[in-house]
Chain A
Amino acid sequence: MLDLRHYNCLGEALRAAIDRWPNEICLIEADRDRENARLTYRQFKQAALPFARALQNAGFNRDSRAAIIMTNQSKWLISAYAIFYAGGVLVPLDYKLSAAEQLQLLAHSKAEVLIVEYHLWRAITQGETFSSLGTRLVLVTEAPAGASLAGAKRWENFHDSRLPIFVPRKRSDPACIVYSSGTGGRPKGCVLTHDNYLEQCRALTALFPFSPGTRYLSILPTNHAIDFMVGFIGPFTCGATVVHLRTLRPEYIREAFTRYKITYMTVVPMLLKTLERGLRQRFAELPGGRRRALRALIGINRAFTRRRPRLKLSRRLLGQVHKGFGGELRALFVGGAFTEPSTLQFFYDLGVPVGNGYGCTEAGTVITLNDFDPFRADTVGKPLPGIEVDILDPDEEGVGEVAVRGKTVMSHYLDDPEMTSETIVDGWLHTGDLGRVDKHGHVQLLGRKKNMIVTEEGKNVYPEDIEAAFEGLAVKEFCVFAANYLWPERTMVGEQLILVVHPEAKPQIEPATTPIPVQTEVAASESGEAASELSPSGSPDANPAPQSEQFTAQPDARHLLAPEMAAEIDARNRRLLNYKRVAGYLVWDSDFPRTASLKIKRIDLAQEIRTSRGRHHVVYL
């Protein structure tokens, strides 16, 4: 691998890698059983430099910003390298966001150039604000022959064979603007420097070295900070191979393992659980004798790998299982959200170590990672070399907010000094996560201090961003909170969003201090139909109501909205991407506390709700 201490910017490091391993395969792009591309580092360079030159011809230069909205594919990385070569700043945007959200982030980032896949471009052009974007060059990949591009250019035709000029950058210069979330009123554009990336890459590859011949299966979106690092910068600066899949269906992922003899892959907890379920099912279907033999072998493997992974031994003991993973898998990595220890242990016992990590975009990706020395299923590992972790204001159990300091912490939030100063205090990044550090230096996460949720797919969702979906609702006011922020829980699973609604008029049904009249019961049963149908016996957040309540299992009538209002909320909720939906609503019958400029005082409102309402008052949609 390259010694990254000697390089000042990503463009320089990538250029050195490309020249050092010209004949190694750097990139394979597969789609089902087809291969769309297989490039050596030399061919990668031959594709990227004419593109960089064409960008420069179009006036792209030092600090010019170029946004990419693409699924994982070769043109993503080719474009990114060209942007760095020309000294530009890359804005990787999430292809899974809605077109309206992408347009909002494009406007916020002030990207001059947009590189986008055809189907995503078509959606964006239908957005109301598309025509007012400041983007002066749009490059569309894979547009069908004969498609009208209305001023945009075809990526495939955008090249100039003359050599581009390499534009060097300093370590402190911005390399990327990565949106950690926040498509509502306040986008969070993390400005990450070349130093952030080079130091992060150095720390990660010291723990898990890549080399020529190592094959990394890239399935997390490349716009995500994790894949950008371990599915691009990391492997490329080590001469390794990245394999892209154009489809993420579990059966094709399984096939890719064996076809490409994958060495490493990073997943989100949801995919890991899917793999676990599939394996458990296959094990359960084995004939009795083979099932018992497998169980015994797993037990032997567990005993022999207690102190450290022993890949050769595990592959010999559990050959069939490892064959299913291609036979050369060294480790999986998981991050982005909470992973259950039982899942991590399941894979470890099979001889497939899963490096459980913790990080955030603001910290350049990874903060802690399990180094398997020894394997721990109950923690997110130890801080990476060069990263300091501190616990702020720890309680008697040592639990407090996790703070991080080091060279990988972002420079600032784009155009938001106020949020930057709230988040980075005296050089320490306040993560908003609650955790503790044990005597072995392992970090355990125990909940969240900030008003947000993280889905099993690793998506950060900020309640404020969801509020736009309910704008114009015929209520006096409303606000969205994370349930675990309102009612703190020591858990990282089952997080939900709650819509707090202050109805326009006083609820028709007066709060009942005496036995509830018959009329009220009827209203409750009618309006609460949806709630009672789905109200969540299985919901992890549904705490039983106190015994003193009139109706113990469900919120009573005074906490229900009129049926038409509930239906309107449900309809609007369904227009949101499924992971952004609120789980239920909570009726609140007094004015929200507000600042002089009429902004909701969220902290104060949360405190009021916390003291007078419980989870059992939530009406689930």
Chain B
Amino acid sequence: MNACAEIDYGTPEVKVGAGGLCMPGTPLRGQATAILEIDGMSVTVPAGTSLMRAAAEAGVMIPKLCATDCLEAFGSCRLCLVEIEGRRGYPASCTTPAEAGMKVRTQSPKLAELRRNVMELYISDHPLDCLTCSANGNCELQTMAGVVGLREVRYGMTGENHFTESTTDDSNPYFSFDPGKCIVCNRCVRACEEQQGTFALTISGRGFASRVAAGQDERFMDSECVSCGACVNACPTATLTEKTVIEKGQAEHGVTTTCAYCGVGCGFRAEMQGTEVVRMVPWKDGRANEGHACVKGRFAWGYATHPDRITRPMIRARISDPWREVSWDEALQHTASEFRRIQARHGRNSVGAIVSSRCTNEEDYLVQKLVRAAFGNNNVDTCARVCHSPTGYGLKQTLGESAGTQTFKSVEKADVIVIIGANPSDGHPVFASRLKRRVREGAQLIVIDPREIDLVSSPHIKAAHHLKLKPGTNVAVLSALAHVIVTEQLVDPAFVAERCEARAFAEWSEFVARPANSPEALQAASGVPAAEVRAAARLYAAAGNGAIYYGLGVTEHSQGSTAVIAIANLAMATGNLGREGVGVNPLRGQNNVQGSCDMGSFPHELPGYRHVSDTPTRELFERDWGVPIQAEPGLRIPNMLDAALDGSFLGLYCQGEDPVQSDPDTHHVVAAMSAMECVVVQDLFLNETAKYAHVFLPGASFLEKDGTFTNAERRISRVRRVMSPLAGMADWEVTMALANALGYPMHYAHPSQIMDEIARLTPTFAGVSYEKLDAAGSLQWPCNDAAPDGTQTMHVDEFAGLRGGKGRFIITQYVPTDEKVTRRFPLLLTTGRVLSQYNVGAQTRRTANTDFYGADLLEIHPHDAEERGIRNGDRVGIESRAGTTTLPATVTERVQPGVVYTTFHFPESGANVITTDNSDWATNCPEYKVTAVQVSRLAGA
């Protein structure tokens, strides 16, 4: 067996009292547990547990091939037969539920004979190349042949078979499909259906001709396959195998860690040969993903050792000079000297730092500590500024805490799911798979998005309502939904009376009930038919459990914070808070957006979202850190850039962030960067911002350091080092060394000590430690004396962060954005991302994910394309008030007339050259989602 393999119990776990569909593994009502006898041992399991799982939990592993515990039982391989006293025949243990009083035998001469016969048939149609097979040592077929004692194949190997003339499909860059080794166990097909929900695989043909096929019998790359790897994980043979395993061989040890891509925060087992990663396998016990993955986390980790990695510090006097490699000591001393020189000349507040949402909590904490304690100001901000800062503001104001309210698992209890301004199947694919499973079980779906995202209509998924609003009108639609809920008496009066501020509710309900907020009145602005809004509002309000999930399509607007507040208002009004299956759920873009915000990376907040003007909090940190802390907020990222242009901000330490590519209005960002005297970039690669840097400090990937990430569920998970930092230092060590060079002592031997300090100073993290995380697997904050095991669902009894514990409705007036279409700029550009690429693409562009998406495209509606003479594939010019760029066009009805859409994964596309500096009123989060543009076909295109 594979040295890294986790125990496979054969069928899914059944929890006592669990609900769900009626299928194998579901407990029978009225029977909490069943006590039975297996091979003479008394076994107690939740009722409905399969005999296979019951045996496995007692340590008896029944032979199996088609069963695996991440999939529902299938009962096809006939290897897991058992004998049950008093019953005829030999039932399959995977599909037979354990019942009280059963006496089961898993071994007998007859069972052994039956199993050997079955195996003999399998092996008669399987190549006998075990010694040179890529699955050697990790092949369930091989293992089972051994377990059942197969010694001969009486049928010989020369008859009709599938292996002599089969052709391997190597089209996918990450895995190989060799049908000659397939035993047609259906595990891959079921994984694609049950786990991923894509339905890309099927069994084509009948009888002996049955075989696995992708799509319409196509190559994997030509099919609907999304390369999540679930099929590869499920395959018990070498039929579907990672190419890295084929190339390197099986791993010899594994380390559990957390993915460094999106805010889902999937747990992975890094399977290793020494310090080399062989493959990343989704961790079954990872609570965020429960054994599932996507193409990024599962396969796109090769960037960590890409030749583009910079592993030596570099400095230069001017940005026009060539880089000069220097020692760590020289780079850090130079940086410290430059920052001190700038501060001496331009004042203490003339320098600052940007914290990365890709780095660990411990690293983020250290950077903000460095700014506050060593720089002596509050000029620290995080790249969450440009994505979810409105979430922090809006949820804090209404619900009292700057975080989502649920677990991802909570969606399994939702009856109506509202997706606003998010595209989970591309941006948060592992959560999307959970969501789709719930929709297949019968939950209703409402999508509010200008574009027809996959969830509107995909295999076995059909949204009940798609409110196809115009970009920039979220608040209008949310107000209209609220209007219907209030005026049609759909409010949950008991929840509102008990849990919310009465006066605030009265003022809000009077406001939304005004005719100006009716769906009919707002239809012209939003473009959404009033009847559709009314129907959606009724569906959400009448749901037993209504859950709202939202993303950057809500936050990245001039009214981003208003929209977040409006969402919270809806949830409070309908009583959809404080239990499983409901809630307000921000889908965070990057792996540690939540964590970076939690760690005090905003210029106005210390760790735990406590304002810098709060004297007791400030004094707590001042005592611990031994320095005074400014009581006034510092500069946000856009303010830093503006201040750079007026000559009052001249030094920037930028860790793990690329504002030149990711921030709006590139010309403005470049001008600001060019105006600074010392820009320090700490990153894996020479990114776009590094072009304007004077110091480059090599970063470390998530594989090279210890720490924690906090995902969108507030779940704190361990990141574990599996290889040494390529540049010799992890990011937290670099920040620590810089602080020391600046004369502020920092001495931590391990990130666990940083977490201990965080816990000591932050009430919501008071119960968090590495020991506890290692024992529990992960913890959701708040984790403290009041909630020693963490908090799965927020606001169960009260809104603890608010006065009197009462939820606070806030009026949300729709204010149209200044970014309006004109005759010169008649189209609205909105942006998003695709499944295979990640944000500015620094990581995914350096992997084979470029095979799936190798360039940003501009989606344009056929009507708009025809008016401009644009055909599919034409290169088009896009002009906005901020700038111009060019992109290849894709003509598609996914976008509505008047709206164009692109991604921002490739720097050469210059998507942010055309976005403007409009921003959210409360947080300055840029309005990426609305830019008025003109699109024209380029001559010669």
Partners in one complex: no
User: What is the interface of chain A, defined by CB distance below 8 A to chain B?
Assistant: none
